[in-house]
Amino acid sequence: MKLNVGIVGLPNVGKSTIFNALTETAKAGVANYPFCTIDPNVGVVDVPDERLYKLAEMENSQRVVPANIEFVDIAGLVKGASKGEGLGNQFLSNIRNVSAIAHVVRCFEDSDVVHVEGSVNPVRDAEIIETELILADLQTVEKRLEKVIKPAKSGNKEAKFEAAVLEKAKKILEEIQPLRTHTEKFEDEEIEYLKKTVFPLTLKPVMYVANISEEDLPEGKDNPHVKAIKEKAEKENAPVVVLCGKVEQELVEIPREERKELLEAYGLSEPGLNRMIRTGYSLLDLITYFTAGEKEARAWTIKRGTKAPQAAGEIHSDFERGFIAAEVINYEELIKAGSLQKAKEKGLLRIEGKDYVVQDGDVIHFRFNV
């Protein structure tokens, strides 16, 4: 499965506006009525990372290639989606195909924008969608349990394992709780079983995106809706990104040289979308390593815990197949040294072998032979 983040939420909370700003396109339709988005829109966006540009400047790189992440704009869900309401089956299927969820909640009042539930209440809205995902998971778990319960009772070892894990998951879901908030109740192999067999929607990592009005910028600190969603997120150990979709859209519609002035007018140091992208990247448990030289400075995306040969394989399969060693220096050390050449002269580059686990911010030159 491709690593990506699905943008979900009730209708008319600003999902498509945020998606359009993310991708700097008008690819996703924006309208003031439910189900404007039916088929999911997909966009690939660069991950903002100042380290890459500093490396490029230091090494006089001719080309800069940032890491990227894929976002998917999924249509708004409504109550009853787990029973097929509002094209629910299609929407749930779209969510099943993403790796993490960015849950957009409306934290602004606007009489001109209809709210599908009649009032602004981000915690209620979040719980509506969460409940639908829980009910969908419960249906899937119960169906699977029906298949394994008979062989489990007859002593089949594999079926007994499956039944025990499914019963545990069923109990949590019946209490209308998402599985991701109870992972401590499962062994690692049980989590892997669930992911590979029933593909639970509520095991996916979640971040909340609080969509506020321009008046509440920069952080919506005095906005009671933002406070409420932050309290919910804190209980779940989930990150919250506060932004104004309307302002984010304005930013991408004006020339780049004018954006700084608009940001400053709203008390912002950077677009809120930058934080959303970085949070999504972190949510997927991704890290970045760099290669840098005169021709190119590039950020490479890998899963946390990846070893050097597999990280090399992101560049080319030959690098992994013929891996000999990795010359490594972390970004912070390299900046202090002043350049790769100076770092080499000072003996700061480490030689790492096949068991080295690549760290975020490593600058690497791979030695290989095929």
Q: Helix or strand or coil: residue 49?
A: coil
326 and 364 Cβ atoms separated by less than 8 Å: yes
Q: Is residue 255 reached through a cis peptide bond, with omega within 30 degrees of 0 on the bond before it? A: no
The angle formed by the CA atoms of residues 46, 200 and 74, to the nearest 5 degrees, is 45
Domain 4-283 top-level CATH class: alpha beta
What residues form the annotated binding site for ATP? 12-17
Domain spans, the chain: 4-283, 305-368
pTM for the complete prediction? 0.86
Topology of domain 305-368 in CATH is Ubiquitin-like (UB roll) (3.10.20)
Backbone angles phi, psi at 130, to 5 degrees: -60, -40
Per-residue DSSP letters for 326-367?
Answer: EEEEEHHHHHHHSSHHHHHHTT-PEEE-TTPBP-TTEEEEEE
pLDDT at 47: 92
**Do 4-283 and 305-368 fold alike per CATH?**
no
**Residue 23, pLDDT score:** 84
Q: Mark the binding-site residues, compressed into ranges.
A: 12-17
Per-residue pLDDT at 92: 79
Name the token pair of 16.
């498509």
Give the rounded distance of the alpha carbon of 284 from its chain centre: 5
Segments of the chain scoring below 50 in pLDDT: 1, 26-38, 85-88
Q: Which residues pair with 99 in a beta bridge?
A: none
Q: Give me the pLDDT at residue 2, please.
A: 64
Pairwise CA distance, residues 13 & 8, whole Å:
9
What is the tens place of the pLDDT at every residue in 85-140? 444 456 777 888 899 999 999 999 887 776 666 789 999 999 999 998 999 999 99
Res 25: pLDDT = 52
Return the structure tokens found at 154: 């007859």
Q: Is 177 helix (H, G, I), strand (E, B) or coil?
A: coil
